[in-house]
Amino acid sequence: MNHSTIAPSPEKVSLKGRDLVTWLDYTAEEVHELLSLAQYLKENPYSKSLEGKTLGMIFEKSSTRTRVSFEAGMLQLGGHAIYLNSRDIQLGRGESIADTARVLSSYVDGIMIRTFETEKVTQLAEYASVPVINGLCDTYHPCQALADVLTILETKGTLKGVKVVYIGDGNNVAHSFMILCAMLGMEVVVSCPEGYEPKEDIIGKTVDLTVESGGSFTLTHDPNEAVKGADVVYTDVWASMGQEEEAFKRLQDFKGYQVNEELLSHASPNVTFLHCLPAHREEEVTAAVIDGPCSAVFQQAENRLHVQKAILQSLFI
């Protein structure tokens, strides 16, 4: 691991009681603190910092990395996690978000929700009296973005000035990645087909962040132009969960946006490839790239555990 910051002892970082819905609610300094804590916890994985603490995890979308990283993270920190499938709790039978938030707040020390509508996350945060963590919604995927940035820090040794290029659908992953990278002073480029751009308000907020950080943001429909000199190239599936009916159309619309060896030949010789997983090999990325020497996708996936633990510890104590 390349240490560009000094990892603090766990008790030095506290964002106690805060929610994590989007990184727009945080400062660059707070994000750097979380990254440093994640580095510390990666090297010192077991503690009793969350002994006696319980995390309630609501899932309306299935998951591999989100569920296992949060559950394992709570266990490694001495706490406990409860899996709550929306079909098995009253939320799936018509109980309001507000009532669910109030009841769960009396049982657990924090709530993580992985859902579709962003409004469900914001409502849960409004009515809960314990921290609420956005495990994914239609607009944001903040925990994934923090793992992405930690991986960039580890592979590049720095963040400010790094050129990161996101190729593909301007979705929730793209939104949180754009926001966080812009906040931390990176050169952010997004390349997508017409009609699949990130939301305009997210683009506007991303541009605003670059003014203070000294970073930059560019949107282009030309992936070859986008990746020129790129230090990091990132992609995601073309049809996300809930978009299965659009899969055939998206396969046609995204032709030319596959991350392959020819595309990466325009990037930096030391380019790092990222993917949030799960991946569809030979669609958005070729096997030669994702399984090749420039790929850091499994390091990136592992980092979900370490950043989740940093988030949990910071918000709970």
Active-site residue among 65, 175, 275, 304? 304
- Which pLDDT value is given to residue 303? 98
Residue type, 58: I
| 74 has a pLDDT exceeding 80 | yes
Residue 6 contacts by C-beta under 8 Å, 6 or more apart in sequence?
Answer: 36
- Residue 11's pLDDT is 52
294: pLDDT strictly greater than 90: yes
Give me the DSSP letters along 193-262.
-TT-PPPHHHHHHHHHHHHHHS-EEEEES-HHHHTTT-SEEEE--SS-TT-GGGHHHHHHHTTT--B-HH
> Residue 111: enclosing H or E segment and its boundaries?
strand 110-114
Q: What is the mean pLDDT of residues 37-55?
A: 98
- Of 39, 144, 258, 300, the active-site residue reads 144
- Report whether 312 contacts 146 (CB < 8 A): no
Catalytic residue among 276, 294, 300, 313: 276
Lowest mean pLDDT among 75-79, 107-111, 246-250, 295-299: 246-250
Sign of the alpha-carbon dihedral angle for 23, 186, 157, 291: positive
The average confidence (pLDDT) of the chain is 94
Q: Is 304 a catalytic residue?
A: yes
* Location of structure tokens 């009253």: 90
Q: Is 236 a catalytic residue?
A: yes
Q: Which two tokens stand for residue 141?
A: 């995927």
Q: Which of 141, 250, 275, 306 is catalytic?
A: 141
Does residue 131 surpass a pLDDT of 90? yes
What pLDDT shows up at residue 189?
Answer: 99
Q: What is the pLDDT of residue 88?
A: 83
pLDDT at 242: 63
Of 109, 236, 250, 313, catalytic: 236
At residue 6 the predicted structure's pLDDT band, cuts being 50, 70 and 90, is very low
